[in-house]
Amino acid sequence: MPDLGVRASVCARGGRKDLTMPGAIMFEFPDLFFTGLFLTVQLSVLGSIGALAAGTLIALFRISPIPPLRWVGVAYVEFFRNTPLLVQLFFLFLGLGALGFRFWTTDTFESIFRAGAAGMALYHGAYVAEVIRGGLLGVDKGQIEAARSLGLSYVQTLRYVQLPQTFRATIPPLGNIGIALIKNTSLASTIGVAELLQAAEIVESRTFRTEEAFGAVVLLYLVLTIPASLGVNWLERRLLVAR
Amino acid sequence: MRSILVRITALGAAVAVLAAACGGGGGAPTQPSPTAAPAATAAAKPKFELASYQYAIQTKGKLKVGTREDNVPFGLKNPATCKFEGFDVDVVREFAIAIFGAEGKADPDKFIEYVPVVSATRIPTLKDNKADIVAATFTVNEERLKEIDFSTVYFRTGQKILVKKSDTTIKEVADLKGKTVCTAKGSTSEKNIAAKNKDAKLLLLDSYPPCLIALQQGQADAVSTDETILFGLVKQDPNTKIVGGYFSDEPYGIGIAKGRTGFAPFLNKVIADMIADGRWAALYKKHITPVSGDVKDGPHDKGRPGG
């Protein structure tokens, strides 16, 4: 139980006169905050790679000439886009756990981390799939016909003509999804991944310094997301095809 | 326009009917029996000093009680009967009997007005005078004593460990070394575990039901928090058991606002009498024994196996 008495008296003190520099608290609890930050980065990177892979595959399914593959693609996108990420995480952690699946590890924390990363990849993969599909459909039909008449197979046309243009054209929306993914990793705290948000919650419950703990988290998320935004902008300037 | 007005009125009436179905909180209003002489009833009431707060309550005719509606087995509003029940509630009924005498004994709920509280509203409820007392698994501690007064300790519990029934390796907090222990984040339980066994690996979730599932699946080796909460988990899953001794102290008291003349000593006397004459033990047996399996004679009793 959070101790209300202590909270109330902290509030009554009226915004702590000894308030230190914003974010200074992270250096008082470096193991919690920086281990948390590292886990958030790991989740973000693994989640992004997974989302890009899953999304591209599903997008190819969705434009495939083979109907069952198209159905799989539609089912995937509609399921993962239309259910809450939080519910998916709980299913991956406790639901699959009930079926005996632990992501090929016996260590609880490793299996929870993998469940979290898988949740990030699967959920955001649905959004990536729709963006990529849009990009693939945006490639001029004349180019595809030209490639096929030059003797390129369906797969070769995808590989050398459609996908390269698609990735370059979809950098801005993919960047959006990536940044959303970084922030959404905070939901993994609910299944017990000791990432950034959970670190702040632990520090808050130990010290009752709510504003400082969550202020530090805001700063650390900005440290991750602002460079990500700048990186996306840079990539866009470098690679975007003018059409 | 008219039809909207009619609909709103109908809706209001429906809400009123629904509210009335579980309204009052103090049980059905009982008509005063015409045969009972008012003088005799008044004579049956205990006499208090005029300046005391219990006299003020007696004169008012209602004891306002803040309690929880969802805290098995301490305070619970039974959804079937709309009546409050639980250990805390029965202790409060003893206070009502002590204040209102024989008439209170016949139907204590007639003199009690229940004010539902949650953890965070317990102190404000007292300070705003919305309740005379708060009986809601209210741990006495230094910080709270700055804000309100407490009675003596009427129930004592502490943090314990819940494991699977088949588990033979975890018997006390020292055995948690290297084990995965699930508890709620933002709780004193998390702090206590970290303080008592820094080698325990903490799995922090939002509440206790997911912890129980993690334990059932073997993702967690143990769940740890106040024994009273663990009682509720054991009730949900009989394949679990509570092990070890207390490794934190959670003494529950009755909360009252500051400045209530003579009220705390009065409550203390009632609590002491209940412990002395076995009413406390009877309440323990009624509410706690079904989930804990032990019997106790008082809050400071170590407890022993009971039937």
pLDDT digits (tens, 9 = 90+) for A193-237: 999 999 998 887 777 677 899 999 999 999 999 999 999 999 999
CB-based contact B187 A194, cutoff 8 Å: no
Is the Cβ–Cβ distance between B268 and B274 less than 8 Å? no
Measured between CB atoms, which of B146, B206, B217 is closest to A98?
Answer: B217
Q: How far is CA B270 from the centre of its chain?
A: 17
Residues of B with CB under 8 A from a CB of A: 119-120, 122-123, 139, 141-144, 146-147, 180, 182, 185-188, 190-191, 201, 203-206, 210, 213-214, 217, 219-220, 226
Nearest CA in chain B to A204: B186
Is the Cβ–Cβ distance between B230 and B113 less than 8 Å? no
CA distance A15 to B125: 24
DSSP 8-state code for residue B287: I
CA distance A42 to A196: 11
CA distance B122 to B203: 29
CB-based contact B146 A5, cutoff 8 Å: yes
Q: Residue A3's closest CA among B139, B118, B229, B72?
A: B139
Q: Which residues share a beta bridge with B204?
A: B183
Largest CA distance in chain A: 78
**pLDDT of res. B4:** 56
SS3 at position A58 = helix
Measured between CB atoms, which of B188, B190, B220 is closest to A108?
Answer: B220
CB-based contact A2 B187, cutoff 8 Å: yes
Read off φ and ψ for residue B154, nearest 5 degrees. -105, -10
Is the Cβ–Cβ distance between B249 and B156 less than 8 Å? yes
Domains and CATH numbers, chain A: 30-239 (1.10.3720.10)
**pLDDT of res. B241:** 93
Burial zone of B58 (CB within 10 Å; 0-12 exposed, 13-18 middle, 19+ buried): buried
Task: For tokens 């039937």, name the residue.
Answer: B307
Q: Is the dihedral of CA B9, B11, B17, B19 positive or negative?
A: negative
**pLDDT of res. B121:** 84
Q: How far is CA A143 from the centre of its chain?
A: 33
pLDDT tier at A18 (50, 70, 90 boundaries)? low
pLDDT, tens digit, 9 for 90 and up, residues A33-84: 999 999 999 999 999 999 999 999 999 999 999 999 999 999 999 999 999 9
Nearest-5° Cα angle at B144, B142 to B148: 120
CB-based contact A94 B213, cutoff 8 Å: yes
Q: How far is CA A168 from the centre of its chain?
A: 20
A169: amino acid identity, one letter: A
**pLDDT of res. A4:** 44
CB-based contact B191 A205, cutoff 8 Å: yes
**pLDDT of res. B212:** 94
Contacting residues of A for B185, CB less than 8 Å apart: 198, 201-202, 205
**pLDDT of res. B52:** 94
Q: Is A230 on the interface with B (CB under 8 A)?
A: no
SS3 at position B71 = strand
Is the Cβ–Cβ distance between B102 and B38 less than 8 Å? no
Structure tokens at A172: 């801005």
CB-based contact B143 A6, cutoff 8 Å: yes
Q: Is A6 on the interface with B (CB under 8 A)?
A: yes
Is the Cβ–Cβ distance between A184 and A85 less than 8 Å? yes
**pLDDT of res. B70:** 77
CB-based contact A90 B210, cutoff 8 Å: yes
Is the Cβ–Cβ distance between A136 and A166 less than 8 Å? yes
CB-based contact A108 B190, cutoff 8 Å: no
More confident residue, B206 or A179: A179
Strands B63-67 and B133-134: parallel
DSSP 8-state code for residue B244: S
Measured between CB atoms, which of B188, B190, B214 is closest to A3?
Answer: B188
CA distance A165 to A156: 14
pLDDT exceeds cutoff 90 at A13: no
Is ipTM strictly over 0.95? no
Suggest the residue from A96, A99, A205 to mutate for an interface test with chain B (most B CBs closer than 10 A). A205
CA distance B105 to A138: 82
Residue-averaged pLDDT of chain A: 89
Give pLDDT < 50 ranges for chain B: 1, 15, 17-20, 23-41
* Residue B73, preceding peptide bond in cis (omega within 30° of 0): yes
Contacting residues of B for A112, CB less than 8 Å apart: 203, 219
A177: amino acid identity, one letter: I
Is the Cβ–Cβ distance between A144 and A11 less than 8 Å? no
Measured between CB atoms, which of B143, B182, B219 is closest to A5?
Answer: B143
CB-based contact B203 A109, cutoff 8 Å: yes
Q: How far is CA A94 from the centre of its chain?
A: 20
Is the Cβ–Cβ distance between B156 and B297 less than 8 Å? no
DSSP 8-state code for residue B46: P
Containing H/E element for A135? helix A108-138
Domains and CATH numbers, chain B: 46-156+250-305 (3.40.190.10), 159-243 (3.40.190.10)
Q: Model pTM?
A: 0.69
CA distance A82 to A122: 12
Contacting residues of A for B190, CB less than 8 Å apart: 202, 205
> B122 to chain A, minimum CA–CA distance in Å?
9
**pLDDT of res. B148:** 92
Q: Which residues share a beta bridge with B305?
A: B294
pLDDT exceeds cutoff 60 at A106: yes
Q: Is the dihedral of CA B286, B287, B290, B294 positive or negative?
A: negative
Q: How far is CA A233 from the centre of its chain?
A: 18
Nearest-5° Cα angle at B276, B274 to B282: 55
